[in-house]
């Protein structure tokens, strides 16, 4: 079972990296959360009954862990530890406009609540409302309403001059 788990996690580890990127603003926190999600996945793996896709199950465990994990209190306010490296993308896809968009997105996302972060992450991953509802365990109607609110909130946060 361990071999199967390690292989499947290796193939889908991008999901954990994405969740960590959305929920943490420092490298240290990202590493801690990565480890914690990995441990929860391993603990819950025997209960994975293949009724849903593995990635759906993985998103669910990862997001539940990210939202409920105890974070040690920080001296700096949330979002203040974002560094230049946080926004850098690989050279081959480097584009100043994209990097600026990423910077704005991360700064805006840092000000969202835990649930809002999970919904926006799944939206950015082009998941349908149905999939978002399945992963988060909330109704599609709720996802729709929440998504509209988050979109408005994000646009406002990213374009403060328009207010």
Partner 1 sequence: MELKDLQKAWSQFSASQAGKKELDEEQIRTMLDRRTKNLIERIDRNIRVGFVVIFLIILVLVLNDFILSPWLVEGIDHQLRIPGWLLVLDVGINVLIVSLFLLFVISYFRVRRNCSGTCDLRHTLLKTIRVLNFYRQLFALVLVIFLLASGTGFLVGLFQGIHLNGMLPVNLPVVIAVGMVSLLIITGGLFFAFRWIFRRLYGNYLDQLKQTLRELDELE
- Residue numbers of the site for partner 1 (CB under 8 A)? 2, 6-7, 9-10, 13-14, 17-18, 21, 34-36, 38-44, 47-48, 57, 60-61, 63-65, 67-71, 73, 87, 89-90, 93, 95, 98, 101-102, 104-105, 113-115, 118, 123-126, 136-139, 141-142, 145-146, 151, 154-155, 158-159
Q: Least Å distance between CB 68 and partner 1?
A: 5
State which residue, 48 or 129, has the beta carbon closest to partner 1. Answer: 48
Please enumerate, as own/partner, the contacts of 39-47 that have beta carbons within 8 Å and a separation of 24 or more: 40/64, 40/65, 41/5, 41/9, 41/16, 42/5, 45/1, 45/5, 46/1
State which residue, 80 or 155, has the beta carbon closest to partner 1. Answer: 155
Q: Least Å distance between CB 149 and partner 1?
A: 10
State which residue, 2 or 163, has the beta carbon closest to partner 1. Answer: 2
- 157 Cβ neighbours under 8 A, 6+ residues apart: 107, 108, 111
3-state secondary structure of 103: helix
Query: Cβ of 108: how many Cβ atoms within 10 Å?
Result: 20
Q: Least Å distance between CB 108 and partner 1?
A: 9
Tell me how far apart the alpha carbons of residues 134 and 57 are, in angstroms, rounded to a whole number.
Answer: 9
**The residue to which tokens 């996945």 are assigned:** 41
Q: Least Å distance between CB 97 and partner 1?
A: 8
């Amino acid at each position: 079972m361990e071999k199967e788990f390690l292989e499947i996690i290796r193939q889908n580890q991008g999901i954990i990296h994405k969740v960590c990127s959305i929920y943490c603003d420092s490298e240290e926190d990202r590493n801690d959360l990565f480890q914690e999600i990995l441990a929860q996945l391993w603990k819950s793996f025997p209960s994975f009954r293949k009724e849903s896709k593995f990635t759906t199950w993985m998103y669910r465990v990862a997001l539940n862990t990210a939202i409920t994990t105890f974070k040690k209190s920080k001296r700096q306010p949330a979002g203040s530890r974002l560094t230049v490296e946080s926004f850098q993308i690989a050279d081959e896809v480097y584009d100043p406009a994209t990097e600026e968009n990423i910077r704005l997105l991360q700064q805006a996302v840092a000000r969202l609540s835990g649930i809002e972060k999970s919904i926006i992450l799944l939206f950015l991953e082009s998941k349908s409302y149905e999939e978002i509802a399945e992963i988060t365990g909330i109704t599609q109607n709720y996802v729709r309403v929440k998504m509209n609110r988050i979109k408005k909130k994000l646009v406002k946060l990213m374009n403060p001059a328009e207010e």
